[in-house]
Structure 1
């Protein structure tokens, strides 16, 4: 656990200077699997709505690492963790997204992979990264993977990495708000860190910081509906998912692609093949789609053109009012057209849920007398929003038809 003679710095638009004190953190950043995150957008299709949202998983991961470093300034946490656990926390924060596929969740939905499970395997099995992590000790990579998978070996670190209020969310809300130009994600991270405490192995927040927590949760709620679940973004990602589906179907049919789809083919046939998985990023997918503009298969050609040229599909709320219209659209399509040019999707988001039972799924408030209660018990605003601040949105997406063709 060698520290640098002179700190390395990254200049970040959100956090200012991000400092690196340990040699091993620099070595992790320099690995190929971590550098790959430069080539994966953080927000996938959101850039079709907010054109500034071009930032990467790489910059977000550095931001999460920075937040972990800031959390270690909290005396309770600094005095609780050993030197190895501190480095474990920083490394897990840095590597928490290393398993993401191209354009994030669209890839997972079609090809049946889980970025956290893939990430844990990359941490343990990738030779270059594992050689770096083994410099701490032989179990270091395994322990990082256990935190990513929330296996309960390091419950405190798991809460800090992934919970209702964690180092991950505190970066992506700020970062995504900045690059989309929206104000919803502006949260008082300084105050949240200042009021954080550790009590009986549990992350708690002083009651004096409850307003900052309320603001954080409301901001998170608005970010989901105004940014992450924006209808245009969802429609755009549906196009990509349908393109993936067409590629998958054509591979199964033995279609002869002119482009080199070998990496994608290997992952489809065996999602556990990490050597090929790490070759696939946004750049790879964009190159394939560009080549498909000249494909003989009209469906593949059409979908690729829609995605690359922002031909956003139509969408309707799934309700009794639109039931007849949705049926009409489907009935005017063949089975093949319905498979590739329509999709129904549901998203759900609540301001705060107090029903969870897993460690880290609730936010706990430390009262003046030293007792601990849940945020739901202490905040009338959150109590009210837990009951009313939930939203379910069902949408039907479809490719618009003109000239009696889908093209």
Structure 2
């Protein structure tokens, strides 16, 4: 029997708090889960610094990846005898679902931003270059690894397959909304996924939803909206991310400064600091490694790096105020100068952070990021774009919400000895 068709002698299951059980029968999937590159995801948290706000948010990219795989597995079961579905794509979809987050680094988005990395490109490299994952995929067929990489990159020729992993209603979002809601303890991210899976139908280039399932999709979209503003963009979590980014930024600056010597050479970060990251360097770094350095850097001779690491490790985060960059730009510039006058480096201790989200959008020709809208399958067999049939979705369609906050160390301001200078800073921050 060919490797791609091999089944385990008995079904393996992972007990899961969100989906109850995750089922594995395919030898390929079982081997991929055991690969070192996939096991590394146990050491990368799904929500980065969110556990400093919601203490239960300790779940990993490993948990999430298995969850996305399980949702796609269930979709495949529902699709197997339907028109417009080629069951030959089943294993491709399962592998792409399982491996879609393979390239995430520690504290993914902050890490990527400082070091100018792209986790999606590293996902593709792990799949295509000299790794255990690549060896497993190559046993399926010589071009199978490239197909999986193309699905994840959204360049695969069959857009229906891509839409299962990446669209405005996909397995990725359906898992992380429920999983993140479960582990953060909030109620916002829950919706009737079983109903959505039952009313999904394969069409030529995307998955569509039977019109009778519209209300379940409305619930899903509103869940997503609430999760972004109540959990993902929580200002305390963003404060931790601000400090995290500034730690990486300061460490990189010190490494590039020939006059500074670290007490312990930051071996794991050197290629990131110098912009020469190869795949093996990338795979060696995870959140355990990062925390190890942060613990050590609390004792560094550089006051800024030591202070930022101590704040992050012990959750002494920056405070924040609402800030609108356009009308308040002069106030921001004045604060920058006052911080310098007070001996507080504004490049590290005065930070504007912006969050924005577009909960649902219809098709807009020429947009940089083309968002394929959700289509409802009507009783007459025609398709209707969701926001044209749902008043709830129409009310938020195309409406991008943006939020700006100014972060600063309140304790450092309180320590300023010049009362006049301190009062000027406080007046600008809180007026």
Fold match (TM-score > 0.5): yes
Aligned equivalents of 1:272, 1:118: Cα separation in 2: 11
Aligned twin of 1:333: 339
Does residue 1:257 correspond to 2:268, yes or no? no
Residues paired across the two proteins, number: 404
Aligned twin of 1:403: 415
- How far has the Cα of 1:294 moved from its partner? 0.9
Pair 1:230–1:189, CA change in 2 (3 A): same
3-state DSSP class of the match of 1:347? strand
Does residue 1:372 correspond to 2:383, yes or no? yes
- How far has the Cα of 1:383 moved from its partner? 1.1
- How far has the Cα of 1:84 moved from its partner? 4.4
Pair 1:355–1:108, CA change in 2 (3 A): same
3-state DSSP class of the match of 1:278? helix
Partners of 1:155 and 1:359 within 8 A in 2: no
Partners of 2:363 and 2:371 within 8 A in 1: no
In structure 2, list runs of 5 or more residues that go unmatched: 418-431
Aligned twin of 2:429: none
Picking from 372, 392, 398, the partner of 2:402 is 392
- Calculate the TM-score normalised by the size of structure 1: 0.94
Picking from 58, 68, 71, the partner of 1:54 is 58
1:2-401 paired onto structure 2 within 5 Å:
2-75=6-79, 80-254=84-258, 255-270=260-275, 272-319=277-324, 326-334=332-340, 337-357=345-365, 361-386=372-397, 390-400=400-410, 401=412
Pair 1:228–1:145, CA change in 2 (3 A): same
Deviations 1:66-99 (A, max 9, x none): 0010111223676655454211100110111110
- How far has the Cα of 1:301 moved from its partner? 0.2
Pair 1:67–1:78, CA change in 2 (3 A): farther
Aligned equivalents of 2:363, 2:178: Cα separation in 1: 27
Deviations 1:294-343 (A, max 9, x none): 11111110110011010110112113886676455322222981111122
- Calculate the TM-score normalised by the size of structure 2: 0.89
Deviations 1:280-302 (A, max 9, x none): 11100000000011111111101
Deviations 1:45-70 (A, max 9, x none): 11111100000000000000000101
Partners of 2:201 and 2:210 within 8 A in 1: yes
In structure 1, list runs of 5 or more residues that go unmatched: none
Higher relative contact order, chain-length normalized (CA < 8 Å, sep 6+): 1
Aligned equivalents of 2:80, 2:356: Cα separation in 1: 35
Aligned equivalents of 2:301, 2:389: Cα separation in 1: 62
Aligned equivalents of 1:38, 1:259: Cα separation in 2: 26
Aligned equivalents of 2:103, 2:406: Cα separation in 1: 30
Say what the alpha-carbon RMSD is for the aligned residues: 2.0
Aligned equivalents of 1:84, 1:307: Cα separation in 2: 49
Deviations 1:109-144 (A, max 9, x none): 111111111111111113222111111011111111
